[in-house]
Amino acid sequence: MSPDLLALIGRSALDTLYMVTIAFALGTAFGAPLGIFLATSGKGELFAAPVANRILGVIVNATRSTPFIILLVAIIPLTRLIVGTSIGTTAAIVPLTIAAAPFIARIVEAAVREVDHGLIEATLAMGATPLQVVRKVLVPEALPGIALGLTLTIVSLIANSAMVGAVGGGGLGDLGIRYGYQRFMPEVMAAVVVVLIVLVQVVQSAGEALARRVNKRIRRA
Amino acid sequence: MSFVPQNFEIGTPVSPVSAMIALKGVSKVYPATRTSASVTALDAVDLTIGTGEIFGVIGRSGAGKSTLIRTINGLETPTGGSVVVDGVEITRLAARPLREARRGIGMIFQHFNLLSSRTAYQNVALPLELAGLSAAEIRARVEPMLDLVGLADKRDRFPVELSGGQKQRVGIARALATRPKVLLSDEATSALDPETTRSILALLKQVNRDLGVTIVLITHEMAVVREICDRVGVIEAGRIIEQGKVFDVATRPRTETARSFLAELNGAALSPSLVARLRQDPCGTCRTVFRLTFSGPLADDPIITRLARHLDTDVAILSARVEEIAGRPFGTMIVTIDNAHGASGAAEGFLRSAGIETEKLGHVA
Ligand SMILES: Nc1ncnc2c1ncn2[C@@H]1O[C@H](COP(=O)(O)OP(=O)(O)OP(=O)(O)O)[C@@H](O)[C@H]1O
Ligand SMILES: [Mg+2]
């Protein structure tokens, strides 16, 4: 493979990392609080707001059931409003974030719901405010589950980021389609796939290691 | 002077100072749902618990024990009646003063409810963090607490690395960290073996004695009540059906429920095979069955020997047990006496006059 091609693969990998990192950070910033709210706003719960809970739940489901390739195109006006353009790698961050946030919300919600209700009661009995319960109990106790879930999110973000070529975004997926498929250079396609596999592997291992580290429920020798 | 709404005032004496906790007509009705009818978990409960007391509440599963104890720190809002703790009417507090009041009421639980993500030290520190104390103040309180419960050497262990008894000790240290006047215990020893249960109860007793903490303890085991409580209330279907000094309830239960709790406890309970053979009316060859209950110094009296000698008849002991309740010896015995020549009537008179509570249970062939 020529040095030019290698440089291209390197640049595309950086584009992918750029998109995934920013979309992940933004998706978590929106999704995690949303997930905590979903987990605690049901009837009789800490921040009981059943109506808001239902409405947000429906929105989250709607977003999650829209195939990413459709979302990508459907929200072009919104993307233009936020970024100024609807084309390019930076612009692709908007749909990636919008797909990631509800995904993260559901993952955080599930992890928070796993926390034993007895802990919430015990903490309230100490005179905690609902926000203190979230900060001191729900988040730390749900952290192992959240860490694994966020790992899953990054992997699916990497997968989604391969589609942003459709709106002129860069990255590994775009490279694979343009060179590997359209210009018929199977070695580029193969290289792209290998880089993606390595990337996912690294993310997965790191995520699992982190989840293990924060999990104090397992007795270690 | 700043305006303080009535129900924000803390420390307004509503009841005599000697009562730490006073429940008046407390009811809790869970409304009907689509799948179940409404449940009256508490039915006009009146209860007064004195300062420095250890009060036990005993009852079967579903009797309303947890609901009752949870009204004391406002985890449960009664549908009627009032709860006053240390002069503060818990049932009328707004959210913020209720949180303040809860700092003065510690609670321990059957399943400990420790945070798995925190060490023993950090668990005990939690209520103090919530109260906004500085790290130095927290250390100054947590370390003596861990010493008190005998876990100084486990301070950096996570709950998963502790035994059940050790976890409950952390729970107790955590509950006491804010120096509460009241400690609520909801089946705190139910998940522990008898040996560990005894050590935890001893710790509670020590805490009660040394720190003057009033303890409300919920259990379904008479053994627990007998071990440490001063007074006990028997709860059934949301009502306190019997209450009094532990010794009195344990030796002279007035309700069938209290009796059944005692039967589980007493070695002198009737065996099922005896119960099956027991009949109401005497018969020619029948022996009469008595339950004898003797307390205090009498427990050392060789009364059965004296009885046999006095009546010149034989007395068979089916089961017997002498134990200590609230520090006093207490014995129960099931005996049968040959009823020929009306000996059993004479025996009853003899025993009664000797100060022994005698209950004729029936006759066996
Ligand atoms: N949130 C609730 N909604 C409806 N019914 C409830 C609720 N909590 C408790 N109950 C009912 O109230 C009654 C008393 O329950 P409670 O938990 O106080 O019993 P308990 O004496 O503590 O029993 P256990 O020994 O099993 O813990 C039960 O019939 C129970 O089903
Ligand atoms: Mg209970």
pTM above 0.90, yes or no: no
Question: A204 vs A123, B101, B128, CA distance in Å?
Answer: 34, 47, 38
pLDDT greater than 80 at residue B340 = no
Spell out the residues 6+ positions from residue A37 whose beta carbon is closer than 8 angstroms to its own. Answer: A47, A52, A53, A56
**Beta carbon of B61 within 6 Å of any ligand 1 atom:** yes
Which of the residue ranges A78-87, B96-105, B124-133, B269-278 would you say has the lowest mean pLDDT?
B269-278
Calculate how close chain B gets to A102, using CA atoms only, in Å. Answer: 26
pLDDT digits (tens, 9 = 90+) for B147-156: 999 999 999 9
Which of A116, A124, A126 to mutate: most B Cβ within 10 Å?
A126
How far apart are the CA of B61 and the centre of ligand 2, in A? 7
- Which amino acid appears at position B263 of this protein? A
- Nearest CB among A121, A128, A218 relative to B130 is that of A128
Q: Please give the pLDDT value at position B10.
A: 41
Q: Who wins on pLDDT, B278 or B36?
A: B36
For chain A, percent of residues with pLDDT exceeding 90? 78
3-class state of residue B105 by DSSP: strand
pLDDT digits (tens, 9 = 90+) for B203-242: 999 999 999 999 999 999 888 998 899 999 999 999 999 9
Q: Residues A93, A26: contact at Cβ < 8 Å? A: yes
Total number of domains in chain A: 1
pLDDT digits (tens, 9 = 90+) for B244-280: 998 788 767 888 888 888 766 654 566 767 777 777 7
> Contact B99/A151 with Cβ under 8 angstroms?
no
pLDDT tens for residues B80-102? 999 999 999 999 999 999 999 99
pLDDT in the model for residue B269: 61
**pLDDT at residue B248, rounded to an integer:** 81
Higher per-residue pLDDT: B264 or A122: A122
pLDDT for B298 beyond 70: no
Residue from B34, B61, B67, B184 whose mutation best tests the ligand 1 pocket (most atoms within 8 A of CB): B67
Q: What is the mean pLDDT of residues B165-179?
A: 97
How many Å apart are CA B119 and CA B66, to the nearest integer?
Answer: 28
Q: In what order do the strands lie in the sheet with B19-30?
A: B39-50, B19-30, B80-85, B88-89
Q: Which of the pair, B356 or B280, is modelled with greater confidence?
A: B356
Residue A206 has a pLDDT of 95
DSSP B162: S
- At B303-329, the pLDDT tens digits run 888 888 888 888 888 888 777 777 777
Asked whether residue B16 carries a pLDDT value surpassing 50, the answer given is no
**Which of B78-87, B157-166, B179-188, B189-198 shows the lowest mean pLDDT across its residues?**
B189-198
Residue nearest to atom 22 of ligand 1 (CA): B66
Residue in A96, A85, A111 with CA at minimum distance from that of residue A27: A96
Q: What is the CATH number of the domain that holds A207?
A: 1.10.3720.10
pLDDT bin (cut points 50, 70, 90) of residue B2 is: very low
> What pLDDT is recorded for position B314?
82
B273 lines ligand 1 (CB under 6 A): no
**Among protein residues, the one whose CA lies closest to atom 17 of ligand 1:** B66
SS3 call for B233: strand
Round the CA-based radius of gyration of chain A to a whole number and report it. 20
Higher per-residue confidence, A59 vs B341: A59
pLDDT in tens, A4-39: 888 999 999 999 999 999 999 999 999 999 999 999
Q: How far, in Å, from the CA of A23 to the mean position of ligand 2?
A: 47
Provide the domain limits for residue A23: 3-220
- For residue A199, what pLDDT is reported? 93
3-state secondary structure of A106: helix
CA B143 from chain centre, in angstroms, equals: 30
